[in-house]
Amino acid sequence: MFRTMTSLATLAFVVLAAATPMKATPLSGDVVVRTIGEDRVAVLVDSDSDSKIDQGFLLSSDLPVSRMSVFFKSAHLEFTDAYVRLISENKLYDLHVAGHPEPPAAPKDMRAVRFIGYALQHSTGDGRCTVTDAREGDVGACFAYGEN
């Protein structure tokens, strides 16, 4: 009986932990949002105003995404393991992993752009990528953190 109760308590804890929303981590800085290839979207952040990308998020999708490249000066982000939300002026970009808790509802006065994928990667550290590279160049260097 004790073993059954322990198993049920463990199962309840796992279900509760999975159902509990993750607390989002705030981040701000200059941000580039752009597609990479046909099925990935990158969010590249200079959070310490040194013109170098030091945070990167990469969402992979099964579906093709429209080509885009957008720059935001002094944007605000929040992220979890399952989503990244970027807010700047009246624009909002959400990147999130299907099957995980979605970001909070978007305010009604904001134009929202949503990307849904199957995997979201987060990288940190100074790479060899500048904000200009992230906007205009090959973004491969933006994910080569710590290789100086």
Residues 3-34: pLDDT tens digits?
A: 444 444 344 444 434 445 579 999 999 999 99
What ranges do the domains of the chain cover?
23-143
On average, the pLDDT of the chain sits at: 83
Residues 100-139: pLDDT tens digits?
A: 998 999 988 899 999 999 999 998 887 678 899 889 887 7
Q: Average pLDDT of 62-85?
A: 94
List, in sequence order, every residue forming a beta bridge with 118; answer none if it has no partner: none
Query: SS in 3 state form for 28-91?
Result: EEEEEEEEECCCEEEEEEECCCCCECCEEEEEECCCCCCCCEEEEEEEEEEECCCEEEEEECCE
